[in-house]
A and B are shown apart, each in its own frame.
Chain A
Amino acid sequence: MTDSVSDISHMILQKLLENPKVPRDINGDSRIVEDLAFDSLAVMNFVMEIEDTLDVSVPLDKLADIRTIDDLAGCLHAIKAEQA
């Protein structure tokens, strides 16, 4: 089961790398909008995929504060703990 922030971050990176358009050198500090060139819709759609993997729902307002992949992992981890 995926549970720690670093596990979640690793899982997000793996999912992102499945997309050939995503740069190969990304890491937890990569910025989702600037470094991955995701627009707001792409971010929301990507988060939807991650939600299903972790069986959590991320309210849209939480996304406003997320800049990096590690931020997203931290957010997902916190929501998963709340929903447990």
Chain B
Amino acid sequence: MSVGLFDKYATLRGNYESLMAASPRNPFGVVIERPLSATVGIIEGRETLLFGTNNYLGLSQSNAARDAAIHAAKTMGVGTTGSRIANGTFSLHQKLEHALAKTFKRKHAMVFSTGYQANLGTISALVNKDDTLFLDADSHASIYDGARLSGAQVIRFRHNDPADLEKRVARSNKGTGARLIIAEGIYSMTGNIAPLDEFVEIKKRHNIPLLVDEAHSFGVLGQHGRGVAEMQNCEDDIDFVVGTFSKSLGTVGGYCVTNHDEIDLIRLCSRPYMFTASLPPEIIAATLAALEEIQSAPELRENLQRNAARLHNGFKSVGLNTSNFISPVIAVTLDDVPQALSFWNALLDAGVYVNLSLPPATPDNRPLLRCSVMATHSFEEIDRAVEAFGSIAKHLSIA
């Protein structure tokens, strides 16, 4: 007897139905009816504080970016209808690539249609089945999927553990293929910051290129907002920086910047770059405007750090279990899924939206209430969120 297409969904269906039975609302189906500002949106007809949008600088609501998008749509239309290697490269795409290269002080930049594709397209173009990738165990799905698309052998090293990386690199020293180490700046689930400066020492000792995904750290950390590598003063030794427009820049898309002159060859063998439509002009224009805003308004980063510290300290003061890193991603770790569901629903009832992250998408198999802070949150909004967290934790006998 043949197997049905959806027979393999039996376990998933069971888990999903149990989750739905235990939750008054679908945690994967929240609808923001409309944003009122970067920090407040209408959810279920009520004004709700947004603490789970990755919109770190609030630039999704930037007037400059909005105006640039309107102008681009009026003058260039709303889509490119083609791949970057065919009819999908407008002058704006090249302008954005030049601006990104200049921002990162690199020779080249390559723009992808999403951040996910930036990792897929870069990793799969750099390594193949004869090569070996060393990935931090807590890497984002786009890094794992890029690794899979490449066909390279994948060796995981323990999260943020330079000694563990070095041990695994040393074991591979007899191999013949090329090697590449991949780490992130800020880890999206926990907010943990990578010891990139220590990874750089290892890459130099073993002569292996290093790719860093600064998706959550660009615009956020470093004196000029270039991310963790800038903050740790090791940018010159990072071979490839990958990132996204859909966090601090407030739009959508992704990029890779590098000093390697082979970038035009990468464009010809990166399938996630070639076989998809390029970003529409209004998105590119808005991203260019947001990039300019990040550079001309360093106070956004200062406000963000101040707000991150306030939320982090607030959570600690009400006895919640969070990482010790102060970054704009602050995750509250809970014990089990029923507790996390109750907590998350109670927060939304109290007018605070955060992300509910469930195993196996979380480290250590424990659920997280993942919060992202914004430069544009007021102290009053942060304090209201802390108060809601504190009183719900008390009610659920967590803190």
Give A contacts to B, CB under 8 Å: 39-42, 44-45, 48, 52, 55-61, 83
Q: What 3 pairs across the A-B complex have the smallest Cβ distances? A: A59-B153, A60-B154, A41-B360
How far, in angstroms, from A44 to B364 measured CA to CA in the complex? 12
A39's closest neighbor in chain B, by CB? B360
B158 at the A interface (CB under 8 A):
yes
A48: which of B154, B158, B359, B360 is its contact (CB, 8 Å)? Answer: B158
How far, in angstroms, from A48 to B154 measured CA to CA in the complex? 12
How far, in angstroms, from A45 to B158 measured CA to CA in the complex? 9
* 27 contacting pairs across A/B (C-beta < 8 A): A39-B359, A40-B360, A41-B360, A41-B365, A42-B360, A42-B365, A44-B137, A44-B156, A45-B137, A48-B137, A48-B156, A48-B158, A52-B167, A55-B171, A57-B155, A57-B171, A57-B172, A59-B153, A59-B154, A59-B155, A60-B147, A60-B153, A60-B154, A60-B155, A61-B153, A61-B154, A83-B174
What is the CB-to-nearest-CB distance from A59 to chain B, in angstroms, rounded to a whole number?
Answer: 4
Q: Which residues of B contact A58 (CB under 8 A)?
A: 155
Q: Which residues of A contact B155 (CB under 8 A)?
A: 57-60
A42's closest neighbor in chain B, by CB? B365
By DSSP majority rule, is chain A's interface helix, strand, loop, or mixed? helix
A-contact 0/1 string along B337-360, CB 8 Å cutoff: 000000000000000000000011
What is the CB-to-nearest-CB distance from B88 to chain A, in angstroms, rounded to a whole number?
Answer: 33
Q: Give the tally of cross-chain contacts (CB within 8 A).
A: 35
B169's closest neighbor in chain A, by CB? A57
Q: Which residues of A contact B360 (CB under 8 A)?
A: 39-42
B71 at the A interface (CB under 8 A):
no
Q: Which residues of B contact A83 (CB under 8 A)?
A: 171, 174
B168 at the A interface (CB under 8 A):
yes
What is the CB-to-nearest-CB distance from B158 to chain A, in angstroms, rounded to a whole number?
Answer: 7
Supposing A39-B360, A42-B365 touch, asked if A59 and B137 sit within 8 A by C-beta, the answer is: no
B246 at the A interface (CB under 8 A):
no
How far, in angstroms, from A28 to B85 measured CA to CA in the complex? 53
CB atoms of A57 and B137 under 8 A apart: no
A44's closest neighbor in chain B, by CB? B156
CB atoms of B365 and A59 under 8 A apart: no
Q: Which residues of B contact A41 (CB under 8 A)?
A: 359-360, 365
CB atoms of B156 and A56 under 8 A apart: no
What is the CB-to-nearest-CB distance from B168 to chain A, in angstroms, rounded to a whole number?
Answer: 5
Which residues 108-165 of B have a CB within 8 angstroms of A? 132, 137, 147, 153-156, 158
How far, in angstroms, from A41 to B153 measured CA to CA in the complex? 17
How far, in angstroms, from A28 to B206 measured CA to CA in the complex? 38
What is the CB-to-nearest-CB distance from A38 to chain B, in angstroms, rounded to a whole number?
Answer: 10
How far, in angstroms, from A42 to B132 measured CA to CA in the complex? 22
Q: Which residues of A contact B171 (CB under 8 A)?
A: 55-57, 83
What is the CB-to-nearest-CB distance from B135 to chain A, in angstroms, rounded to a whole number?
Answer: 9
How far, in angstroms, from A59 to B150 measured CA to CA in the complex? 13
A84's closest neighbor in chain B, by CB? B174
How far, in angstroms, from A52 to B147 measured CA to CA in the complex? 23
What is the CB-to-nearest-CB distance from A72 to chain B, in angstroms, rounded to a whole number?
Answer: 16
How far, in angstroms, from A31 to B11 measured CA to CA in the complex? 17
Which residues 158-198 of B have a CB within 8 angstroms of A? 158, 167-168, 171-172, 174
Q: Which residues of A contact B137 (CB under 8 A)?
A: 44-45, 48
